[in-house]
Structure 1
Amino acid sequence: MKQRIITAVIAGAIFLAIVFYGNELLTIATYILATIGLHELLKMRKQSLLSVQGLLSVLMLWVFLLPDEQARWLEDTLFSKIELMFLIVLLFLTYTVLTKNKVTFDDVSFCILSTLYVGIGFFYLIQTREAGLDFILYSLFIIWTTDSGAYFIGKAFGKRKLWPEISPNKTVEGSIGGVICAVVTAVVFYFVYPEITDNLLVFIIGTIVLSVFGQIGDLVESAFKRYYNVKDSGDILPGHGGILDRFDSLLFVWPLLYFFLI
């Protein structure tokens, strides 16, 4: 527990400092986090990041993560992001032929979907920060309170299992408690940062949606780990596991936050 708290304080302080600064520092940090997250997913399937399919995955991820300004420059001078990603998909499929199916269609499909899963979430970290620091802080607070509320309320009152085949410790009562805690946090946040929205009701509804999908993101990561029989996605964060273990909920929340509230 002591190690977990120390890691949370140090890693949280570094991440918040980067988020507050924003700009190129946040973009660089996002590239690093996303690449580590992709490595963790590939490792679950026993695929190396330094293999051909791993390097193609990284290339696709880095193209996908390009912020709008750099993406416009790329489109003006060469190809659009979508065109480049199509080319990388063709290279993936060509590689299955060159290896005579030692690297299969299933392998490259996993790589492509893993890249999109990680890339979409972290891309919208950059986009959300560009929309305003208050949105990032809001997303962090509601996910932290959702997780904490679900844990403590589930411990105290949980009886019905939420999804025992995937995450046996989560309960329906804990899940509902997490949503309630997120809503309370959102109301407080609204009065501290009234400029974040002009409609409190829509803000509360949006918070409920984000809290629910944050929990779904957590379950998705749990499903990956259970399927591939691993305890944590990685060990880069002592006491917490890997990058995906810490950002699984936010990978679902940031895109939805951008779509519906920003």
Structure 2
Amino acid sequence: MKQRIITGVIAGAGFIGLVIIGDLPFTLLMLALATIAMGELLKMKQISPFSFRGIFSYILMWLLLVPEMYVSFDWLHVTKLELFLLLIFVLLSFTVITKNAFSFDEAGFTILASVYIGLGFHFFIYTRFLEDGLALLFFIIILVWATDSGAYFTGRSLGRRKLWPEISPKKTVEGALGGIALAFIVGSIYVLVMPLFNQWYMTFVFVLVVSIAGQMGDLVESALKRHYSVKDSGQVLPGHGGILDRFDSLLFVLPILYLLSLI
């Protein structure tokens, strides 16, 4: 527990500091975290980061992650998305070239992993660089924290009905609802101090989406770990597990908020 607290305080302070600074230091932090997270996924799949599949996974992920302001492919007369799609077809071609030694399933893992990690951390950067990005990003992080805390304490004290025992045996329906409830309480206090929306119903929708998507993101990572029979995604944060263990909710929340035009 002592190690967990010390790691949490040091890592948390460093993370918050770079979120506040923003700009290139924050972008470099996201690049580092995404690279470590991709390594954790590759390790689950027992893929060497220095193998063809590992290197290709990193390239696809970095392509989605890095903002246009830092990397442009205008000299190739293609956009980042077009290049990403082109590389997917190159990847699929290797299933033929290698006579299925590199299979369609492995290509699918490479593509999906790069999208999961790359877009998740990309929208971290995107959100921070918005006009009210700092206040908005802190709002999202606080809502996710409130949801996790509410779910944990409500589940421990009132939890009776299992939410999804095949994926995460300890999570309960009561815990999930408690997480949403605490997110609304904390979110309401936050917007009173730092108004972010003109209409109250937008705050309601925003908090609800963040809380539900955050819990789904946590379940997705639990499903991954159960599928690959690992307890934690990594050991980079002593007492806390890996980067995926700490950012699983946010990797789900931020892209969904963007796709729903809420950020």
The residue type paired with residue 235 of structure 2 is: D
1:10 aligns to 2:10 (yes or no): yes
Match in the other structure for 2:225: 225
User: Secondary structure, in 3 states, of the residue corresponding to 1:169?
Assistant: strand
Residue 190 of structure 1 contacts residue 200 of structure 1 at CA under 8 Å; is this kept in 2? no
Residue 209 of structure 2 contacts residue 257 of structure 2 at CA under 8 Å; is this kept in 1? no
Matches of 1:186 and 1:249, distance apart in 2 = 17
Matches of 1:207 and 1:75, distance apart in 2 = 38
Match in the other structure for 1:256: 256
Residue 47 of structure 1 contacts residue 54 of structure 1 at CA under 8 Å; is this kept in 2? yes
Identical positions, percent: 48
Shift of 1:35: 1.2
Match in the other structure for 2:46: 46
Match in the other structure for 1:84: 83
Shift of 1:58: 0.7
Matches of 2:59 and 2:161, distance apart in 1 = 44
Shift of 1:77: 5.2
Matches of 2:245 and 2:59, distance apart in 1 = 23
Number of aligned residue pairs: 260
The residue type paired with residue 128 of structure 1 is: T
Match in the other structure for 1:125: 124
Shift of 1:69: 2.1
> What TM-score do the two structures reach when normalised by structure 2?
0.95
Note the residue ranges of structure 1 that are not aligned, 5 or more in a row.
Answer: none
User: Secondary structure, in 3 states, of the residue corresponding to 1:47?
Assistant: coil
Partner deviation per Cα, 1:26-51 (whole Å, 9 max, x = no partner): 11111111111111111111111111
Shift of 1:94: 2.8
> What TM-score do the two structures reach when normalised by structure 1?
0.95
The residue type paired with residue 205 of structure 1 is: V
Q: Kindly report the root-mean-square deviation, in angstroms, between the aligned alpha carbons of the 2 structures.
A: 1.3
Matches of 1:28 and 1:147, distance apart in 2 = 27
Matches of 1:256 and 1:203, distance apart in 2 = 16
1:69 aligns to 2:69 (yes or no): yes
The residue type paired with residue 97 of structure 1 is: V
Out of 39-48 and 217-226, give the one that drifted further. Answer: 39-48
Residue 31 of structure 2 contacts residue 66 of structure 2 at CA under 8 Å; is this kept in 1? no
User: Secondary structure, in 3 states, of the residue corresponding to 2:232?
Assistant: coil
Residue 124 of structure 1 contacts residue 255 of structure 1 at CA under 8 Å; is this kept in 2? yes
Match in the other structure for 2:94: 95
Note the residue ranges of structure 2 that are not aligned, 5 or more in a row.
Answer: none
Structure with greater helix percent: 1
User: Secondary structure, in 3 states, of the residue corresponding to 1:162?
Assistant: strand
Shift of 1:165: 0.4
